[in-house]
Amino acid sequence: MVTVKSPAEGRVLLRNASWETYERLMAEREERPVPRFFYDRRVLEILSPSKKHEEISDIMESLV
C-alpha cells in the first residue's frame, strides 16, 4: 500500500483498498463533513481540507 501526503492539505492515497474499507470509513464518519473520502478503482483518497479552504467555504456559504 502506498501513501502520499500533500503539505497544503491533509491528503492520503491508499492503493489496493477494498470497497468494504471505503464503506466502513463512510459509516464511521456518520454525518461529519470531514474528512472527505473518494474511491475509484481500488484507490481510496482521504482528504482533510486546509483551514484556509474551510474559512473560504464558510464565507461562501454565508453569502448564499
pLDDT tens for 7-53 read 556 889 999 999 999 999 999 988 887 888 999 999 999 988 777 76
Q: What is the pLDDT of residue 10?
A: 82
> Which residue would you say has higher pLDDT here, 8 or 57?
57
* Cβ atoms within 10 Å of 18's Cβ, excluding its own: 12
Using the predicted structure, report yes or no on whether residue 6 has a pLDDT greater than 60: no
- DSSP state, residue 35: S
Q: What is the pLDDT of residue 49?
A: 74
Cell numbers describing residue 13? 492515497
